[in-house]
Structure 1
Amino acid sequence: MTRTFLKGLLTTALFGLATSAYATPANMITLGKTNPPIGHYEFCKVNTGKCGPTNDGGPMQLTEAKWKTLLKVNYNANSSVEPLTDQEIYGVEEKWVYPKSVGDCEDYVLLKQKMLVERGFSPSDLLITVVLQPNGDGHAVLVVRTDRGDFVLDNMRNKVLLWSDTEYTYLKRQSTKNAAQWVKIEDDHSPAVGSLQ
């Protein structure tokens, strides 16, 4: 085997990509504007500097160093925050904040997004995304847009997967052009309505 071929195999294994084709595209297809989740709308009213136009240069190039950073940030955030609901923490149904030691799924996402921006990632590639779990419950994950596909950082697992390799139904995410705006996601098994909307 040639060195180039071996390097290609290693790269494929490193990024966790299957060599065979899969039905869902590696990058999500969006369908136009939709309303942001109320929790994100309220977050943006308080954190205006985090919610505005972004410089969308297209999906980032996923290097080995960036992949390792994604894995480390996902693991560190998941390990440092104890999962509790907003009702348990604040006595309200929905509140999006940067967590200190406890938080729910949106709080993990905000923390991971912040940590990755601090490490040089573009906000246009770090997209808060609303999904439905197989049981129908709403959930939020951070989708990282790359030239190798859209990868999911999730507080329910330390493994980083392509969006098409998760069990979720994808509803909507932040726009790549403006962090305060949201777009619908084309997902063949998306229901018309879901929680966290």
Structure 2
Amino acid sequence: MFGVLAGRAGALALMVLAGVFTARAAEAPVLKASYAATGVVSSVPYGWVDFCRRYAGECDHGQLPPREITLSAAAFKAIDRINKWVNKTIVPITDWDHWQVVDQWDYPLDGKGDCEDFALFKRRLLIELGFPRQALLMTVVKDTRDEGHAILTVKTDHGEFVLDNLSDQIKPWNATPYHFVKRQSQTDENVWLQIGPPTTEPAIVSR
């Protein structure tokens, strides 16, 4: 399944790149948003630590200068395509049903996963397309049921947007129904920062 998924992802990347190179540079991006205020250093989710242990080389990039994405029409189109393709392609399943564990962050190599797996896969594909990892930030929130959920924050020169497995629409971070808890630092992906006022952190992310 991994070979099939990787091949389909590669084909998608070629389509996305074609769209990037043929889009008119003068077109304005569709959306604008504000920026989330990050605070003090927070705890690192166990799922991220375990993911980094199992995927050698994925999390050892050290200190990096902060960067953001220039949200041209072409860049927005590429991000939108990745978001929709992953949401359509990956079958949602809980970690318990998938792995018989409460919380496991992973790439959906067998075509199945839950929220953080969707976000990790989108992050990987966007990095492979050339977007800076410092602008693609794994983020933990609480959903409308006060349960843990993971999304991908995309930091751009037009504000911050989220890619969510529960929606095909790219939304400004503050236009979601979520309570933001913490996310990766732009300068070190293994440092996580509090977002907004302190809150009780969810034990797991699972949707």
Alignment of 1:30 onto 2:45: no
Deviation at 1:55, TM superposition (A): 2.7
In structure 2, the partner of 1:44 is: 52
In structure 2, the partner of 1:16 is: 31
Structure 1 Cα separation of the partners of residues 57 and 186 of structure 2: 16
Q: Deviations over 1:13-66 (max 9, x none)?
A: x5233xxxxxxx711111121111111111111223221325334322111111
Unaligned runs of 5+ in 1: 1-9, 18-24
Q: Structure 2 length normalisation: TM-score?
A: 0.80
Q: Structure 1 length normalisation: TM-score?
A: 0.84
Alignment of 1:191 onto 2:194: no
1:134 corresponds to which of 130, 133, 144: 144
SS at match of 2:141: strand
Alignment of 1:119 onto 2:129: yes
Structure 2 Cα separation of the partners of residues 48 and 186 of structure 1: 32
Residue pair 1:132, 1:195 contacting (<8 A) in 2 also: no
Q: Deviations over 1:56-106 (max 9, x none)?
A: 343221111110011000001001100000100111111111003110001
Which AA in structure 2 matches 1:73? Answer: I
1:63 corresponds to which of 72, 78, 97: 72
The percent identity for this pair of structures is: 32
Which AA in structure 1 matches 2:31? Answer: G
SS at match of 2:163: strand
Q: Deviations over 1:122-142 (max 9, x none)?
A: 000000000000111110000
Which has the larger displacement, 58-67 or 169-178?
A: 58-67
In structure 2, the partner of 1:179 is: 189
Structure 1 Cα separation of the partners of residues 47 and 136 of structure 2: 18
Which AA in structure 2 matches 1:84? Answer: I
Q: Deviations over 1:100-120 (max 9, x none)?
A: 311000100110000000000
Which AA in structure 1 matches 2:131? Answer: F
1:95 corresponds to which of 91, 104, 114: 104
Q: How does 1:161-172 map to 2 (within 5 A)?
A: 161-172=171-182
Deviation at 1:183, TM superposition (A): 0.8
In structure 1, the partner of 2:170 is: 160
**How many pairs are equivalent?**
177
Q: CA RMSD in A?
A: 1.7
